[in-house]
Amino acid sequence: MVIGLKTRLDYEDYCAIPLNGKRYELIDGEVHVTPAPSPLHQRIVLRLARALSEHFGPPAEVFVSPVDVILTAHDVVQPDLVVLADPSQVSDRGIEGSPLLVIEVLSPTTTVYDRTAKAQRYAALGVPHYWIVDPPTRTLECFANHEAVYRPAGAFGPDDTLTHPGFPALRLGLAFLWR
């Protein structure tokens, strides 16, 4: 019998990570760690969460990190914002399956990760909509999943009004995010 180290971690391994104030995620079985977000980052997350909660309303729900989104046994993420259309996806463990919308607010330590590995994995696992908020440039980019690849659905500057083909009733002036 050959005994070796596990090279692809799963949800059980993820749950065994000690709590130490850092945010851990599994992307295709590989552990990623990020430091706590800045106050500016959290301010943007909360402002956007309030606005999206007002727009989507029940039965949809908006969640802010930290909340585990269990996409597969080997993919457990903690996006900054998650919009669920189906409340039955909420379990005692977290959110099970692909949410309607995932939003990441970029930080200096997460920019490349959020734009590459995370985006690719979200698309491959069927997350329909992915938004990236970039605080330094005061922009919000929207992407829509098309055959497991994200395609641009809109890019908005600091004073623009966000509109989105996937959410035709949504009109969100973005200036409030940056105040």
Secondary structure (DSSP) of 75-125: EEE--SEEEES-GGGB-SSSEES--SEEEEE--TTTHHHIIIIIHHHHHHT
CA-based R_g, the chain, Å: 16
Task: For domain 11-178, say whether CATH 3.90.1570.10 is its number.
Answer: yes
pLDDT at position 19 is: 82
Please spell the DSSP secondary structure of 40-56, one letter per residue. HHHHHHHHHHHHHHHHH
pLDDT at position 22 is: 80
- CB of 105 within 8 A of CB of 41? yes
Mark the ranges of the chain whose per-residue pLDDT is less than 70: 1-6
pLDDT at position 4 is: 62
Q: What is the pTM of this model?
A: 0.92
pLDDT at position 36 is: 83
pLDDT at position 1 is: 53
pLDDT at position 164 is: 93
